[in-house]
Chain A
Amino acid sequence: MLAETWYVLLAVMLAVYVMLDGFDLGAGVLHLFVAKTNAERKLVLRSIGPVWDGNEVWLLVAGGTMVLAFPVLYARAFSGFYLPLMIVLWLLLFRALGIELRHQVEHPLWRQFWDVAFALSSLVLTVFFGAALGNVVRGVGMDDTGHFFAPLWTNFQVDPDPGILDWYTVLVALNAAVALTMHGALWLGWRTTGEVRRRCDAVLPALFGTTLLLTAGTSLATYVVQPQMGQNLQSEPAWWLAPTLAVLGLVGVRRFAGRERWRGAFFSSCAFLAGMLGSAAAAIFPYVLPARIAERGLTIAGATTEPYALQVALYWWVPGVLLAVLYFALNYRSLPPQLDTSDTDEH
């Protein structure tokens, strides 16, 4: 039970990460397209400036939580995904510099360089995060000791020893990239006014349509690629909550966005993303990292540590994260309700 509790907490952490950092990643993808002038680009950056770093911390804390509760998962997955994780690290580095260094020098070429760095790294990160999720859901090519070392790609087939990129993970990657871009568009639409918002409004139908199509495709493909999903949905109807939440989220995005109610649409998109991650959990439970040869997969029980450690960690982890939620509430509440290009704030 304890290990299952941590499974849920870790999934929640990752879901919060995707909902929060998702919008600033999405804003990054759109940066060059919805913001043309320097004032508009500053506007995009100011809408995420006070919060993006905190958002990214959820990823780091999820990582720490994984070491804490599932050390075997952390060790096997991180070493097995060595090369893509190194690329992710370098992208995170460029992205952080893009956001934080742009305003340090007043020179158009300097700004242009970091604008592109920010946009490109955001785009590639959404693709990588999607591919990562796809790999976890599909399962990896573990040997009989439970270890693996995944190449970037092989023949793009979902076979017993696949690469990071195959047709399935590419599909999930595209789905993630488009869904997070939509998430970013909704954030910018909610938090800004003027041209930036108008352009977000203009791309929204295309983003929504593509998300819808890709989500349908991913769901179907997952059903085929990961048989555990069908089993779980059959044996435990409560799992249906996750895909239902995702569908309701999408419906919400459509309804709210159609009536220019950005806030509602943004929160619906949060529900959609949470539902999708919940569905991913539903597709692999009780594994934390399935293998292509099912019985080699790493289960919750096989990945965890002493019950004492799991127990005692709850006593500080839960209040600690509640405290963090309080900081976030304070921070988000202190954001100006809506930004426009006339402000001359530094960020």
Chain B
Amino acid sequence: MLAVFVRGAYDAQVLDALIAHRLQFAFTVTYHYLFPQLTMGLALLIVILKTMGLRGDRIANESARFWSKVFGLSFVMGVVTGVPLEFQFGTNWARFSEAAGGVIGQTLAMEGVFAFFLESSFIYLLLFGEKRLGPKLHWGSAVLVWLGSWLSGYFIVCTNAFMQHPVGYRVRDDGTVVLESLSAFLTNPWAFAEYAHTMIGAAVTGSFVVAGIGAFYLLSGKHLPYAKKFLQVATITGATASVLLAFPTGDIQARMVAEHQAPTFAAMEGHFETDLGVGLVLVGQPNMDTLALDNPIVIPNALSFLTHHRWKARIAGLTEFDKALWPDNVPLLYYAYHIMVGLGTIFIVIMGMAALLLRGGLLFRMRWLLWVLLLAIPFPFVANTAGWMTAELGRQPWLLHNLMRTANGYSDNVSSGNVIFTLLGFMGLYVGLSVLFAALVLKIIGGGPSATQESA
């Protein structure tokens, strides 16, 4: 009896540490990604605005200057919250780094060499070099900053893709995962699908923020020419991106999960029993006691059709798989996925409507729709976060899919108390960061685009 207790206590400790390490990474990476999705989205919109500016559109050029300020501030936040992530692979996930660093080190180093050097060298010119560089070179630095931020995205997504769907590796006798083919690793099909979906997600965030602020200015009757420019550029970009987010990128990504991570796919969709002609769940809560959905609302046969392009196709339910292969938190995964998909659908409606109503300036007079655009600003952040939660919860219980369990990857020389202590530290610091960011970004928005002087 005593042995049972002793053994139980030991396991609880291991579990504690695992959860602490996971929570710290989850918290810091989730918080971090609020900023890069904005900067990567804004970088694209700034390039579009700068290109219009280069063709003589003065308002567009001044709009680009205004959004560069927001970009600069978000970039700083992204940098200071991003550095801890690179450290944490080693500090908190040492066994994972030791086992797989020989592979993922390639992309982590590439991100620094090809993206960080580029961004850090040209962002200052984008922010402070307009007068000195002249229009063409300044446009060029905007393009290089955009390129740097989107390259950075690829290397990180490619790292994640290796964890989701390992390719180009070999397992050595000592259990370490080593690189066998750099080209296979870099051209992981999973990475292409995930990258397209992620970047377009960032474009949607950028578009909603720019459109929302444009709506805010119009509603308040201020900075009208800029407000209209914001709305014009952001609703067209946003509508295009929202559509691309669902189809083809979201569709490809979902079918890839269905093919390579079948238990995850079943859990995401809330699909418990293997069946032919499986319906698409719109509403319902997974009940892990009965292994069924409570109060489901389902479109019959739709999931089979979307996944296999046949109405009566067979899809394996979660109960078909060994429990050891199930994602360890099925309801959370299900909710995250459904929130992402639900919001994505709403984005298409909002942005599609706004873009269509640009004709004849109808949008600028529809106060209710402007209100919707303003209030929609937080939701792409929610959707992007939910999307990453789907990817990362869906990868569980694996750290490297089918190769290494998350429970075997954390630093077992760092106890849970140390991690919870630093996690609380990060939480406190990030509350402070949020207050600072909110205050400063509101100051920039309050000042408005006409207050943005050309700088030397």
B80 touches A309 (CB 8 A): no
User: How far is B103's CA from A81's CA once the two chains are assembled, in angstroms?
Assistant: 23
B14 at interface (Cβ–Cβ under 8 A)?
no
The answer to the question of B123 belonging to the interface, with a C-beta cut-off of 8 Å to chain A, is yes
Q: In the bound complex, do residue B101 and residue A86 qualify as a contact, i.e. CB atoms below 8 Å apart?
A: no
The listed residue (B80, B91, B100) touching A96 by CB distance below 8 A is: B80
Cβ-based interface call for A203 (8 A):
no
Contact A65 B179 (CB under 8 A): no
The reply to whether B79 and A96 contact each other, CB–CB distance below 8 Å, is yes
Contact A77 B79 (CB under 8 A): no
**Cross-chain contact B128 with A346 (CB below 8 angstroms):** yes
Binary interface encoding of chain A residues 306-327 relative to chain B, with 1 for a CB under 8 A from any of its CBs, else 0: 1011001100110011011001
Which of A68, A79, A345 is B106 in contact with, Cβ under 8 Å?
A68
For the complex, is A50 an interface residue (Cβ under 8 Å from B)?
Answer: yes
Q: Please, how many residues of chain B have a CB less than 8 angstroms from a CB on the other chain?
A: 63
CB-CB nearest in chain A for B114: A320
**What are 21 contact pairs spanning A and B, CB under 8 A?**
A57-B112, A60-B116, A75-B90, A75-B96, A78-B97, A79-B94, A79-B414, A90-B425, A93-B81, A104-B440, A149-B413, A305-B105, A306-B180, A309-B106, A316-B110, A317-B109, A317-B113, A321-B113, A327-B117, A327-B121, A346-B456
Task: Flag whether B84 is at the interface (Cβ < 8 A).
Answer: yes
CB atoms of B80 and A64 under 8 A apart: no
A286 within 8 A of B: no
CB distance from A219 to the nearest CB of B (A): 30
Q: A71-B102, A313-B106 are in contact. List 16 more A-B contacts (CB 8 A).
A: A50-B125, A57-B120, A71-B100, A76-B94, A79-B413, A79-B414, A82-B414, A86-B422, A89-B83, A93-B80, A104-B440, A105-B443, A147-B413, A308-B179, A309-B103, A323-B114
Which chain B residues lie closer than 8 Å to A82 at the CB level?
91, 411, 414, 418, 422
B101 lies within 8 A of A60 (CB): no
Judged by a CB distance under 8 angstroms, whether B436 is at the interface is yes
Interface string of B157-187 (1 = CB under 8 A from A): 0000000000000001000101110100000
> Is B98 engaged at the interface, CB distance under 8 Å to the other chain?
yes
Q: Is A328 part of the contact surface with B, judged by Cβ < 8 Å?
A: yes
User: In the bound complex, how far is the Cα of B179 from the Cα of A91, in angstroms?
Assistant: 35
Closest to B72 in A: A100
What residues of chain A lie closer than 8 Å to B179, measured between beta carbons?
305-306, 308-309, 312
Give the residue of B97, B120, B178 whose beta carbon is less than 8 angstroms from that of A54: B120
Q: Are A63 and B87 in contact (CB under 8 A)?
A: yes
Closest residue on chain B to residue A50 by CB atoms: B124
The answer to whether the Cβ of B224 comes within 8 Å of any Cβ in the partner chain is no
Considering residues B73, B86, B413, which has the most beta carbons from chain A within 10 angstroms of its beta carbon? B413
Of A50, A57, A74, A334, which is within 8 A of B97 by CB? A74
**CB nearest to A321 among chain B residues:** B113
Which of A49, A67, A101, A324 lies in contact with B101, CB distance below 8 A? A67
Which of B104, B121, B436 has the most A CB atoms < 10 Å from its CB? B121
Q: B128 touching A104 by the CB < 8 A rule?
A: no
Kindly list the 10 A-B residue pairs having the minimum CB-CB distance in the complex, ordered from nearest. A71-B101, A78-B90, A305-B102, A68-B105, A67-B105, A64-B109, A61-B112, A79-B94, A320-B113, A324-B117
Which residues of B have CB within 8 Å of A100? Answer: 72, 76
Q: Give chain A residues whose Cβ lies under 8 Å from the Cβ of B172.
A: 306
**A104–B436 Cα gap in the complex (Å)?**
11
Which residue of the partner chain, among A79, A105, A309, A334, contacts B411 with CB atoms under 8 Å?
Answer: A79
The smallest C-beta distance from B52 to any residue of chain A, in angstroms, reads 25
| 8 A Cβ contacts from A24-81 to B | 49-51, 53-54, 56-57, 60-61, 63-69, 71-72, 74-81
* Nearest CB of B to A304, in Å: 8
Chain A residues proximal to chain B, CB less than 8 Å: 49-51, 53-54, 56-57, 60-61, 63-69, 71-72, 74-83, 85-86, 89-90, 92-93, 96-97, 100-101, 104-105, 147-149, 305-306, 308-309, 312-313, 316-317, 320-321, 323-324, 327-328, 330-331, 334, 345-347
Contacts of A321 in B (CB 8 A): 113
**Judging by beta carbons under 8 Å apart, are A312 and B182 in contact?**
yes
The answer for the CA separation of A82 and B21 in the assembled complex, in Å, is 12
Interface of B toward A, CB cutoff 8 Å: 72-73, 76, 79-81, 83-84, 86-87, 89-92, 94-98, 100-106, 108-114, 116-118, 120-125, 128, 132, 172, 176, 178-180, 182, 411, 413-414, 418, 422, 425, 429, 433, 436, 440, 443, 455-456
Which residue on A lies nearest to B103, using beta carbons? A309
Distance from B224 Cβ to chain A, minimum over Cβ atoms (Å): 26
Contacting pair B87 A78 (CB below 8 A): yes
- Residues from chain B with Cβ under 8 Å of A317 in the complex: 109, 113
Given A64-B111, A72-B98, A78-B91: A54 and B443 within 8 A (CB)? no
The chain A residue with its CB closest to the CB of B96 is A75
Do A83 and B87 touch (CB < 8 A)? no
Which of these, A53, A66, A331, A345, contacts B79 with CB under 8 Å?
Answer: A53
Q: A76-B98, A330-B121 are in contact. Are A86 and B91 (CB under 8 A)?
A: yes
- Which residues of the partner chain A approach B96 to less than 8 Å between Cβ atoms? 75
Q: A90-B429, A308-B180 are in contact. Are A324 and B87 (CB under 8 A)?
A: no
Please give the distance in Å from B125's CB to the nearest CB on chain A.
8
Question: Are the CB atoms of B113 and A64 closer together than 8 Å?
Answer: yes
CB of B320 to closest CB in A, whole Å:
37
Cβ–Cβ contact B455 & A346, under 8 A: yes
Q: Which residues of A contact B418 (CB under 8 A)?
A: 82-83
Cα A63 to Cα B91 in complex, Å, equals 12
A101 — which chain B residues lie within 8 A by C-beta?
Answer: 76, 436, 440
Bound together, the chains give a CA A321 to CA B116 distance in angstroms of: 11
